[in-house]
Structure 1
Amino acid sequence: MKKEISLIWAIVPLLVMIACMYIAVVRLEQGPHIPLIIGTSVAALVAWKHGFRWNDIEEMMYKGIKLALPAVVIIMLVGLTIGSWIGGGVVATMIYFGLKIITPALFLVTICIICMIVSLAIGSSWSTMGTIGVAGMGIGLSMGIPAPIIAGAVISGAYFGDKMSPLSDTTNLAAGLTNTNLFVHIRHMFYTTVPGILIALSVYGFLGMKYKNSNIDQEGILQTISMLEKSFVISPWLLLIPVAVIVLVAMKVPAIPALVIGIILGSLAQVFVQGGTLAEAIGALQSGFVIETGNAMVDDLFNRGGLDSMMYTVSMTLVAMTFGGILEYSGMLQSIMNQILKLAKSAGTLVASTILACFTTNATCSEQYISIVVPARMFSNAYTKMGLHSKNLSRALEDGGTLTSVFIPWNTCGVFILGTLGVSAFEYAPYAILNYVVPLLSIGYAITGFTIQKLTKSEIAEIQEREALQG
């Protein structure tokens, strides 16, 4: 007979997983897969102890994996995109013109703004980081800027666009789950997200000044440019490939076919522009582009991409979602959320509790989408009972769920960033400024009551009527 799982038992798998994660990742410098498998095993034992059969536990894991399948497809396509765009000279062209045009002092601000624009246009932080972000890392490293700082600027820009774009899946998800008009939801996020990005850009501007003169190896930049000219055919026409993908998504072509077109164009460019063979183009898609220039930095920048390079990320995603699936469907996560919900005594503590719940879900279930779905279900009635408009909840879900996902090394977002930008969450966290400033602003607004919208009498009557019809 299945029994309700108490808070004490619910946090046991989480505590075991975090302890194992600390030992394996921090102390032994190993990957996070095994700690998550151990956490999954403990979660399964806890569920079994409370009356769940093994078939039930298997089904929980499969449900968790199923939730991650769309993300897995995107991860694989981004690996193919990186391989084909490097092989086709697209990334080299971006880096070449970036080194020619962008000054080191303005680089961090510029790459952040470019990622903002691209992500706004296509509604995807992952696609932005996997394409523009990869090129940005190459440009910044060539200028002598540390990788964690560059990654932070890329992440802030990419997540601003992802959060504010009407094409974004998380934006639509948060609005839909809370019955909030999409554009009402986006307008309400302006109050936290725009000040957040302005703060981030100010900090990047300040940090960029450090690399204005003395710390930049101009000779190294010139050597990189020369090496790019020798190794690739550099042409502004190649920039039409990423532009085509952006235009397609902006025209509401789904992300997957748009990326596939970008992959095909990149591979064609590798054969017909760069002079590569068909075998080399297929090899770049499978195992990544390979080049030996004699320049260690250039080789490190361009020997990457391909389907194989994303298998670490894919396996990590699947393992994490088995853990999250058991926590979610056994009721363990519900027990943890119920305790968080008890903290909500006012509008300020309710929003703070929502953001804490989103962060907790990101840490326990390792998936950004679940961090929006579960708290949306848990907190919806609490906002209504407190007389708060649903847009307060939808904003809190994005401020706490979408943005904090990057800080969890074993979350699908943290793993994806490590796989594409080559920087771990522990390293870039201090520089992903938008992602922690916005949740803090959101909590501050709630405590002071600033921008917190109450329900009108007519809206309350409408909600009551809808609930009566559903009941």
Structure 2
Amino acid sequence: MRKADQHHEDNSKQLEFSFFWAIVPLVVMIGIMLYTVVELKQGPHIPLIVGTVTAALVAIKTGFSWKEVEEMMYKGIRLALPAVVIIILVGLIIGSWMGGGIVATMIFYGLKLLSPTYFLVAICLICSIVSLAIGSSWSTMGTIGVAGMGIGMAMGISPGMVAGAVISGAYFGDKLSPLSDTTNLASGLTDTDLFDHIKHMLWTTIPALIIALGIYAFLGSNVSGAIDAEQIAQTASVMQESFLISPWLLLVPIIVIGMVALKVPAVPALVIGAVLGFLSQVYIQGDDATAALTALQEGYAIETGNALVDALFNGGGLDSMMYTVSMTIVAMTFGGILEYSGMLKAIMNQLLKLIRSTGSLIASTIGAAFLTNASCAEQYISIVVPSRMFAGTYRKMGLASKNLSRALEDGGTLTSVFIPWNTCGVFIFGTLGVGVLEYGPYALLNLLCPVISIIYAYTGLTIAKIEGGGRGEGGMKEPAKTKSELQHV
């Protein structure tokens, strides 16, 4: 057994928390989070820090020393380090792919798919492609989504329908892209291989997308009108003037996807993607090395005079990921104290009373992630907190960690759009100009994925067991030791 695991186990045995004191830091954090984010329109960092201080005080009151509490925070941060490395690489990829004209090429050819009858299907697919390429639902909605809203409403399509199709497409890519911060966060915090996590999510995401596209095709079959061809032509023209658009540039995302299929580890695959983007900017777009390095560090910047093109191609870079990195670190100091002090164990003892089967476990995970979205108003926290609360139970029930990581995304990443005061709901209203009650029924992928996930949980379909595990106490299945763990035995 590893020393960290032994220390955690020893602490849990030495100090028992009552449910009341265990829940105090969560109640304080959630209360301040609601006031800070909803009322004051500020970020989630300070409420998490206040929650961390409260958790530290409760731990010290119960009998831990400050040195022990400090070590708990460091352990929590160490759990997130793999995700932090990936998030940093994501920033490099986005900046280099924008500067290299790779994103522009994908969008240019994607715009050709627009047609009046199948507009909802087309805009959903385009947003899927763009968000899959850049790994960001917000960037997709703030660029392609804004243009799609104007075009769709000009056709006479309900704004709620258009926004729903945009959101479904944006979150399809956000959920499955190896560049997505939430995807890397869910896989990193559950100790799941990134590409195993993505492949396991295909079982819920692909059926949800197919059903959504079928409904969008039905809704769009009665649409009449014409696309604003002049606006599309002008945008495409500016893109051609600003970038060298070439189908050859599509080889870059194809290579990265190919490496995913060949099970290349995430870090080397993303590094190669960033290098290819850098080379594309220098040797295909004709920028100098200084500009390409600036795109990697600060993000790509361009001024064309076209608001849509400027908004679409300004961003990325290492600096753009520091908010996510800092939020992850702060959240994990909070989670580290809750976990290693035994507070989460006390809370889990209450929650475990509701869990009787794999179905109820996964349904509880999805429900906990949704409630965290509602109470904490931040989708990242809806992944961080439940991931630490449920990880041990999945192991004890002999369930592979990718079941947990998928449930976190189905219940956390996707349901964030249905909470009006969640940062995602606020962003969508401010960007697309449509409220939750209007677009909610049409954000079909976001609605269907949690439902499909729960159906799988109760039927046993696609539920992965831990391979090579024995039986632990109470007949529970013990997880098989990894190679690194065996080396420390």
TM-score after normalising by structure 2: 0.71
- The separation in 2 between residues aligned to 1:417 and 1:289, in whole angstroms, is 27
Deviation of the 1:133 alpha carbon? 8.9
2:251: which partner in 1? 240
Instruction: Name the count of aligned residue pairs.
Output: 429
Query: In structure 2, which of residues 276, 290, 303 is the aligned counterpart of residue 292 of structure 1?
Result: 303
1:64: which partner in 2? 76
| Counterparts in 2 of 1:408 and 1:52: CA distance versus 1, 3 Å | farther
What are the residue-to-residue correspondences of 1:36-435 with 2, within 5 Å? 36-103=48-115, 106=118, 109=121, 128-130=133-135, 138-143=143-148, 144=150, 149-156=165-172, 159=175, 190=203, 195-205=207-217, 213=225, 216-344=227-355, 349=360, 352-356=363-367, 366=381, 368=383, 371-372=386-387, 374-378=389-393, 397-398=404-405, 400-406=407-413, 407=415, 433-435=444-446
Percent sequence identity over matched residues?
50
Deviation of the 1:252 alpha carbon? 1.8
| Counterparts in 2 of 1:105 and 1:257: CA distance versus 1, 3 Å | farther
Deviations 1:104-144 (A, max 9, x none): 654654576688899xxxxxxx9755279956864443333
1:122: which partner in 2? none
RMSD over equivalenced CA pairs, Å: 4.6
Deviation of the 1:314 alpha carbon? 1.0
- The separation in 2 between residues aligned to 1:236 and 1:452, in whole angstroms, is 39
2:20: which partner in 1? 8
2:157: which partner in 1? none
- The separation in 2 between residues aligned to 1:24 and 1:350, in whole angstroms, is 32
1:121: which partner in 2? none
| Counterparts in 2 of 1:211 and 1:415: CA distance versus 1, 3 Å | farther
| Counterparts in 2 of 1:81 and 1:212: CA distance versus 1, 3 Å | farther
- The separation in 2 between residues aligned to 1:138 and 1:95, in whole angstroms, is 11
2:83, 2:184 within 8 Å by CA — same for their partners in 1? no
- The separation in 1 between residues aligned to 2:446 and 2:279, in whole angstroms, is 37
2:28, 2:51 within 8 Å by CA — same for their partners in 1? yes
- The separation in 1 between residues aligned to 2:348 and 2:471, in whole angstroms, is 28
1:160, 1:197 within 8 Å by CA — same for their partners in 2? no
1:43, 1:326 within 8 Å by CA — same for their partners in 2? yes
- The separation in 2 between residues aligned to 1:240 and 1:283, in whole angstroms, is 23
| Counterparts in 2 of 1:140 and 1:64: CA distance versus 1, 3 Å | same
Deviation of the 1:221 alpha carbon? 1.4
One-letter amino acid of the counterpart of residue 169, structure 2: A
Deviation of the 1:220 alpha carbon? 1.7
- The separation in 2 between residues aligned to 1:271 and 1:417, in whole angstroms, is 38
Aligned-partner SS, 1:403: helix
- The separation in 2 between residues aligned to 1:304 and 1:176, in whole angstroms, is 29
1:386: which partner in 2? none
Deviations 1:145-194 (A, max 9, x none): 667752432323553688xxxx99978998989xxxx99x969x95x666
Deviations 1:396-447 (A, max 9, x none): 63553232231469xxxx999999xx979x979876644443433454677x
| Counterparts in 2 of 1:57 and 1:174: CA distance versus 1, 3 Å | closer
One-letter amino acid of the counterpart of residue 242, structure 1: P
| Counterparts in 2 of 1:277 and 1:349: CA distance versus 1, 3 Å | closer
Aligned-partner SS, 2:41: coil
Aligned-partner SS, 1:366: helix
One-letter amino acid of the counterpart of residue 142, structure 1: A
Deviation of the 1:67 alpha carbon? 1.2
- The separation in 2 between residues aligned to 1:199 and 1:68, in whole angstroms, is 35
Deviation of the 1:373 alpha carbon? 6.3
1:387: which partner in 2? none
Q: Which runs of 5+ in 2 are unaligned?
A: 1-10, 153-161, 482-489
